[in-house]
Amino acid sequence: MCKITENIPNGARNPAYLPEDFDRPMVFIAEAGDIVGTRIGVKTDWYCLCLDADAHHFNKEHPIFHGPFEVNISVELKPTPSEAFRFVRTDGQPLPDSLEMWRVQTKGYKTEEGFRPGMIARPWGFADSPDAEYISGGVSAKDIDAVAMGRHGNFFFWGFSASPENMTDEAQTVFANAVAYISKFAGQTPIARRYKSDIATREYAVQQKDFISYKRWQERMVVEKQYIEKTEEIKKVALAKQAKGEKLTSEEKAALRSTVKLQSYAEWLKSREPVLFEKFGDNEQAYKDYFDDNRDYFYGGDKVIYWMVDEDVKSWGIPNNDIRLLDKAIGCWERGEEVDKAKRVLTRYTLCRFATPQEWRDWYETNKDRIFFTESGGWFFMVNTRDLSVPGNDYRMRGQKIPGEDYRGEKRRVPETEAALNSDKNPVYMEMKTEEAENGNKWVVVKMNIHPGYHTYARVASTDPYMPTALQFTFPEGWGEAEKLLWPVSKKLNEAGTRYYEGEVVFRQEIKGKGKGEVHCTVEYQCCNDYICMPPGKVELNVRIE
């Protein structure tokens, strides 16, 4: 049986390099925004390590483009990144064929093999609090709205990776201006904190509505059909060679074991939306109506893996980001109407824990002109102040519930505790075992189970920023490789040559020898879905061999 001795999954929390109350001005370069910032809730988290050399959608009026050092930005019209067309904009507007761009780096990973890519932060909810601002996007493999430059509290995020020698002269000046700009925010720590990088927001739901559409299924099946046809071609060659007693390649052996079939639209929907599928089957319009009708009541806060419909709020017909919701809940408690529901709503959407409706009313009336709502910060109404004596911003209150706050709303996804192997929270599960080989040797079998909608990478082209799957074995004394590792058949991602795995993926290593001990395997990989690319993960596996 398999024993996991170390598991660093995608999205694992980074070590704490800074205290929560760190208030000195700081500039994050590329993935430092994730490595240093996310543990203390800074919004500069990992969306994708795939930022290239050009900026777009930059705020030309922002102070960093105007001083203290004079700079004249050179703008050029360039084609919109092809990857951006895979995403639906939350404002519903179509993407233009070209964008105004500003060259930040003289080199980028797309044109300079081996050049370090920059990092973009998740756009969903980045600017939904008054302590944060979006400054610029950049050419990447993801959403056009991803953040390449931004500020959160006393932290400035410069997602581009180049050192000054590989920056354009203009970028060097803007970077110097950014340093001067963030120095003005000494002492202004973040108010809203994004402690969950994968927190579900309404923008995420908009993307999900698009990605389960019939059109997206058709696009995916084109890729699947190409994969199956290619696999069948390899199978024919393998069977012919097998009949002649010729040795098969690793790819040919993997093709003979392949059982992939095209999924119907219903099967595809069921794998991605199992709970909604029970309601709507393959009725595409029903899914669209569900997303549209419930947009104001989606909730993705504390202890919610994906997002759900808050039936408490829906019953009142008030959007959960509307301050009228607080007034409604407090008023119900004051009048003795639906008191339990009112308490649940107030606890769910604030960081206050008052015992009486009068205390709630006093807090609300005192602060209502500076209350804001943040989804990325936890789906809370918070107060625009850094005054620690004002209730409403203390995240330690998340752990203090009131009686009756067990309600979770309508389930959309199977909760993590009910998931058999993996989930949206932990999309890759691995196990390792041994099997007897027909020739008297043994097989070491590593199985990678990838959650529907996610994938890992088999091969990565030099122009792509992803990390390929790699397996490293260590065998006990008396044992060694009999043949090379048998890799599964992968699927084509793009014309550059990058290929990926999804579903159940099996790696087989034939070994020979005698004795007892443990086989050790280190698996390094990167997992992505249609929205995000997670930080690289590493899993350590052991299996006893007799």
Q: Which residues is 137 bridged to in the sheet?
A: 56
Q: Reduced to 3 DSSP states, what percent helix, strand and coil does the chain have, rounded to the nearest 5?
A: 30, 25, 45
Give the number of other Cβ atoms within 10 Å of residue 114's Cβ: 6
Whether residue 4 is contained in a domain is answered as no
For residue 409, the 8-state DSSP code is -
**Number of domains composing the chain:** 4
In-domain check, residue 102: yes
406 lies in some domain? no
Q: Quick one: tokens of 254?
A: 């993997």
Q: Are residues 529 and 390 in the same domain?
A: no
Same domain, yes or no: 494 and 349: no
pLDDT tens sequence for the chain (546 residues): 333 333 444 444 567 899 999 999 999 999 999 999 999 999 999 999 999 999 999 999 999 999 999 999 999 999 999 888 888 777 778 889 999 999 999 999 988 988 999 999 999 999 999 999 999 999 999 989 999 999 999 999 999 999 999 999 999 999 999 999 999 999 999 999 999 888 889 887 888 888 889 998 998 888 888 888 888 898 899 899 989 988 888 778 878 877 778 889 999 998 888 888 999 999 999 999 999 999 999 998 876 656 789 999 999 999 999 999 999 999 999 999 999 999 999 999 999 999 999 999 999 999 999 999 999 999 999 999 999 999 999 998 886 654 444 444 444 443 333 344 556 678 899 999 999 988 889 999 999 999 888 899 998 888 788 889 999 999 999 999 988 898 888 888 877 888 899 888 999 999 999 989 999 999 999 998 877 788 888 999 999 988
pLDDT at 303: 65
The amino acid occupying position 391 is: P
Cα–Cα distance measured from residue 269 to residue 280, given in angstroms and rounded to the nearest whole number: 10
- For 521, the token pair is 């395997």
Helix 284-293 vs helix 202-211: crossing angle, to nearest 10? 170
Q: Please tell me whether residues 211 and 354 are part of one structural domain.
A: no
Q: Which residues are within 8 A (CB) of 208 and not within 5 positions of it... i.e. 6 or more apart?
A: 291
Give domain status of residue 247, yes or no: yes
Domain closes at, from 397, 412, 446: 397
Could you tell me the strand order of the sheet in which 428-436 lies? Answer: 428-436, 442-450, 504-513, 479-481
- Interatomic CA distance for residues 367 and 480, integer angstroms: 69
Tell whether 186 is covered by a domain.
Answer: yes
Neighbours of 246 (CB within 10 A): 10
Task: Decide if 224 contacts 260 (C-beta within 8 A).
Answer: yes
Residue 191: φ, ψ to 5°: -95, -60
Q: Where does a domain end: 155, 176, 197? A: 197
**CA angle (273, 203, 530) in 5-degree steps:** 55
Helix (H, G, I), strand (E, B) or coil at 100: strand
Q: Is residue 416 part of a domain?
A: no
Residue showing tokens 């086989």: 519
Q: Provide the 10 A C-beta neighbour count for residue 75.
A: 14
Q: Are residues 260 and 347 in the same domain?
A: no
Domain span including residue 373:
300-397
Q: Is residue 269 a contact partner of residue 277, using CB atoms and an 8 Å limit?
A: yes
Q: Give, in order, the Cα–Cα distances in Å from 116 to each of 33, 108, 147, 464.
A: 15, 7, 18, 11
318 with 288, same domain: the answer is no
Same domain, 352 and 499: no
541 shares a domain with 496: yes
53 and 184: one domain?
Answer: yes
Among 270, 294, 318, identify where a domain stops: 294
Residue 16 belongs to some domain of the structure: no
Per-residue model confidence (pLDDT) at position 414? 39
Residues 192 and 219 in one domain: no
Whether residue 224 is contained in a domain is answered as: yes
**Residue 212 and residue 193 in one domain:** no
Q: What are residue 74's phi and psi, to 5 degrees?
A: -95, 120
Same domain, 71 and 179: yes
Q: Which positions ≥6 away from 461 have C-beta within 8 Å? A: 494, 496, 497, 498
How many Å apart are CA 444 and CA 422, to the nearest integer?
22
Kindly state whether residues 148 and 35 are assigned to the same domain: yes
- Residue 461: both structure tokens together: 């082209």
What is the Cα 498 distance to its own chain's centre? 20
Cβ neighbours, 10 Å, residue 116: 17
Render 45-97 in DSSP notation, one character per residue. Answer: -EEEEEE-SEEES--TTSGGGTSSS-----EEEEEPPGGGGGS--TT-PPPPS
